[in-house]
Structure 1
Amino acid sequence: MSYSNNLVVFRGAGELASGAIRRLILAGFPVIALETEKPLCIRRTVSFATAVYESEAEVEGVRGKYFKERVDALNGAKDGIAAIIIDPDGAAIRELSPSVLVDARMLKKNSDISRESAPVVIALGPGYRASEDVHYVVETSRGHDLGRVISEGAALPDTGVPGELGGETAKRVLRAPVSGEFIPTMKLGDMVSAGDVVGEVNGAEIKSELNGLLRGLLYDGVMVSEGMKIGDVDPRGNRDFLHSVSDKANSIAGGVMEAVFRGIG
């Protein structure tokens, strides 16, 4: 069966969105993702949003590309490319007229989409109620229900505590100590030790609290606010994980796939 006529549009192309985008493209769906001018992607090696900075991106064998024109993005999507365009307000949605709209921005609140935005509307994580705001919600909280499709009700509320990785939770996340411009002093993929300075914001140093692999890091020059996540240290230290979709993103991708097929019938 061909799904080439079932365009899927994503709001956001970060790590969790990219796992689902990749899965849908491999299944034969054309996909376009709408991004901001400076996406705040942490795990850049597995985020199609990096195409905004680099012109192209690749996630586990699936190619992504930034397009300036919507018509070119449509053609790219039909060719199996994860087509990325800059459209933070979602103005292109009406013109693109997708079969499926996926809000993967993880805003934790419903700001500007509804069940009328597309024939099938899916949201990732908390902030939306299935059957009221959208048709389906996909659970994004680690645990028993990760990736579960919700057709009535909402996802679990955000706890503010990062999921466990290699036995660590909050310590593995790097955050901005103050607001300002982020300047990295280490590179994505570097091995770090506890106490290493990973970057700075307005002269305030950001130090790793763990030994491990720097698997996530914002781009140089991105403006951040105090407390905002700017990086991620993987205490497992396995370089193979740097370029592979995480277990969490894969679980959510499965949920998105299920919701898409349930929605389009």
Structure 2
Amino acid sequence: MNVNVKFEYVEKYLPTPRCRKYRVREVKGTCTITVREAPIEKLIPAFGVEHHIWGKTPRIENDVIFSNEGSLWKLSRASRYYAGKSWFDLAPCTSEFLAWHLEPERYEICNFNTDVEQIKAYIQSKADRFLICDGKLYEETTEPMYVIMTFGLGYNHGGSALMIEDYYNSNIPSSRYYAANQREEAIAKAKEIALNRGDTESIHNIETALLIHVYDDRFVTKNPQSWKAPGDEFCNTLEEIAETAGDALAAGLLMICATAKSVRRY
């Protein structure tokens, strides 16, 4: 689909050849951008990611992630908000909506100055992250993973959880991430960590954590257990304190001392 996208930028200019002081003026432009399209039969279901829908009728919905030409795609949140409807009852993806969605803010293109070709290339790069299929807008995404998260001081202050993410947070050791088809291993490790921290009230939620449905194992390519990324040293220190302190009060006091010691280094 071809879309006419508007953009605005600030241009410096000299009013006359004799002037040496540049003036500025607002300039408006339009460019034609192409958003890729694909027939519905070309989208292969790869994963289903459960998430909570909160409201008058709380429920769990399953967001399907599709594969197409080597990339993963999911229904766009922007399309959902624009339509004001659920994931499964979206308004048609019109060129007017795409033109509005792709229009860049000035801060996004300020570094390009008056280079219109660079501005057009930037807008096209935004459009390349989207795909139109069956009248709906999909956005490029990445492979989902399980991650073990901890909160608070331990001993049921905060808690432990098994969550779903589609990116790696370098503050967390990669050993706490698991591939989409390693749910049982992730649950076992999450329960071990929770018990070490004294988060006994978290066990049920870990065992019933949201699911990643793997529709085809060939799309599982990440193996975070092999990454050997250590995570953030200071965060690891606090985590070790939570697992060994014995109670939340002791953990809190020890974490204050560890923080003070870390601050003194700088």
Rg larger in structure? 2
Instruction: Report which of the two has the higher share of strand.
Output: 2
TM-score normalised by structure 2 residue count: 0.24
TM-score normalised by structure 1 residue count: 0.24
Instruction: Report which of the two has the higher share of helix.
Output: 2
